[in-house]
Amino acid sequence: MPRLALLALFSLSLGMPGLAYAKEKFQQPGPVHLDQKGEKWARESLKKMSLEQKIGQMFMIWARAQFLNLDAPEYIALRDTMRKYHIGGFGLTVNFEDGFLYKNEPLEAATLVNQLQRDSEFPLIFAADFERGLGFRLNEVTSFPHAMAFGATGNVDYARESARITAQESRAIGVQWNWFPDADVNSNPLNPIINTRSFGEDPKQVSNMVVAYIEGAHQYGMLTTAKHFPGHGDTDIDSHLAVPSIKGDKAHLERVELPPFRAAIKAGVDAVMVAHLAVPALDPDPNHVASISPAIVTGLLKQQMGFNGLVITDALTMAGLTKLFPEGGSAGAGRAAVEAVKAGNDVLLIPSDLDGSYHGLLQAVRNGEIPESRIDESVLKILRAKASVGLNKATQVDINAINRIVAKPASLDTAEEIADEAITLVRDNHQVLPLKATPKGTNIGQNAYQPAAEDRNRTLVLIFSDDSRSDAGRVLEHQVKMRIPEAKAMYIDARNPAGLTQPVMDAVEQAQAVIAAVYLTPQGGAQTNRIALPNAPAAILQSVLRGAPDKTVVVAMGNPYLAAQLPEVKTYLCTFSDAQVSELSAVKAMFGEIPMSGRLPVSIPNVANRGAGLGGPSPMSSRGPNE
């Protein structure tokens, strides 16, 4: 062949990748569905597995969404762990340190997921706690407010649409399973760990929201999880730190805790996550929490409630479980894994000691304590779940498609609309709101000799948060200053109140209006069970309210029950979330740019009942999924 012809063919091959390289097959997400080919693949795969491989399929460990060179020690360690223990899947998360989440980008997450899939002997399933969409763990994605904000809107269509968007974006980066929706009924105002993660305190509304979320997620290929069975809403202890207890009798459980789980099962939820909490009415054994209770997992969930899907433990590292195994280390981890499987769990999430858990379970099968048929039962369900989202056909995602799917303007608009509709005005003295923006074109601060406090429109923004170094309040401050450039902001946390008390009170005295934004949301794994402001910041806020109640608006950026701690508050609004989109909505509401049409999805003791709200018209009860 002439040289020019060869060059032409080579050039053509560069423009047509299929001629130069075998085209990589990518996942093609569709509705969640297990077809005959998927069933056949699951059964044949199970037959090919050794006992060691089957045991490994039942474990999920963390994979942190970050860029890793393939020769980096961190990646090699993760890959070798996956292969050594035949890991069945990963929970996708990010690094967490000193109260800070170090979020990364969707492209980094997808790149890591693809590489782990390439290096695995069997298709991996990736799951995540995308409770607020991908924004719960990643940057530059669609971020929704907390579940309770959805309850405040009273609109189940929002739950369905957020699930669709989350499913599309999740599948784009290679995550097939969301550990959501939260089916807990937050009936206890002192709950430090569920709180705004719940849709509310009404079992019917929670059920409707849960069902709608499952329907939306399934439409775009996302597996769902109802958690935290049999209900974590009536507790006042964080199960990350200790063993909480549900003290209600069976009638209470049937009336309040269980209806959302029954609704989820009827709607076809793929998995149920079992909590590490004591439920004496269901299992009086003091050495049992729900996650290791045969009576609760097998007896109630599987047999009585008829659930045939995946049963997954909450993280096995949580103190609510580990405190029951004082031997600790490998022995304690192994025993916990064995008891969890004997109780009826299929997937063991984040073991405290992977080697101990894996070998403890392997030994229990080898010595006859657990029949291998019991392991086969769980692994077949896991393989079926993988096939139902197409992992038997392809494991890679198309990196080039991410910027067409993730963070679409329409998706961002939907998140903002939900946050807007959730804003709830609980108290109003009609003296603060709406705030007035500085007229456009007004010169601000032209007089170099005039202190900021003397400016024409004096507005003070007080940001109360866990840590003033965090992002909490930054969007709110920016949005206020876009409307009132001369507004002053002060950040207050438990580390700095001693030196701030007098400056804050001086600024309050000079201000015409005070915004006190309180960022108080449940923090899984926090060091203390916290539902209220720490003493020192709380004292400052109470001083502000005693000294200037008529010109202060308190904005609960999260926990709505905060008002019970502040009897002096006269103007009070709730966003039910500290998400940045909720910060934007709060500012728009305070300046009268949107109506505050939300209604409380929970009751605030001595303040307001569920359904309260002083804003525009909004139906309290959510419509059912078929209404």
Which residues are catalytically annotated? 240, 314
SS3 200: coil
Residue 20 Cα distances to 10, 115, 592, angstroms:
9, 22, 60
Vertex 114: Cα angle to 108 and 115 (nearest 5)? 90
Phi, psi of 476 (to 5 degrees): -60, -45
Q: How far apart are CA 310 and CA 359, in angstroms?
A: 22
Q: How far apart are CA 398 and CA 28, in angstroms?
A: 10
Q: Residue 69: how many CB atoms within 10 A of its CB?
A: 9
71, amino acid identity: D
SS3 449: coil
CB contact set of 518 (below 8 Å; sequence gap of 6+): 464, 533, 541, 554, 555, 556, 557, 558, 562
Q: Which residue has the tokens 């340190």?
A: 97
Nearest to 488 by CA among 467, 464, 516, 507: 507
SS3 226: strand
SS3 452: helix
Nearest to 182 by CA among 252, 115, 272: 272
Vertex 237: Cα angle to 231 and 242 (nearest 5)? 105
The two three-digit tokens of residue 571, written as one number = 């103007």
Phi, psi of 485 (to 5 degrees): -55, -30
Q: How far apart are CA 333 and CA 352, in angstroms?
A: 6
Nearest to 164 by CA among 130, 196, 123: 130
Q: How far apart are CA 10 and CA 5, in angstroms?
A: 9
Strands (E), 401-551: 424-427, 459-464, 488-492, 513-520
CB contact set of 273 (below 8 Å; sequence gap of 6+): 179, 225, 226, 227, 228, 229, 312, 313, 314, 349
Alpha-helical (H) ranges within 389-473 are: 402-405, 409-422
Give per-residue burial for 150-164: e unless 16+ CB within 10 Å, then b.
bbbbbbbebbbbbbb
398, amino acid identity: D
Q: How far apart are CA 72 and CA 11, in angstroms?
A: 36
Nearest to 137 by CA among 166, 98, 162, 160: 166
Q: Residue 100: how many CB atoms within 10 A of its CB?
A: 14
Q: How far apart are CA 172 and CA 126, in angstroms?
A: 12
| Residues recorded for the chain | 627
Q: How far apart are CA 577 and CA 407, in angstroms?
A: 20
Q: How far apart are CA 311 and CA 480, in angstroms?
A: 46
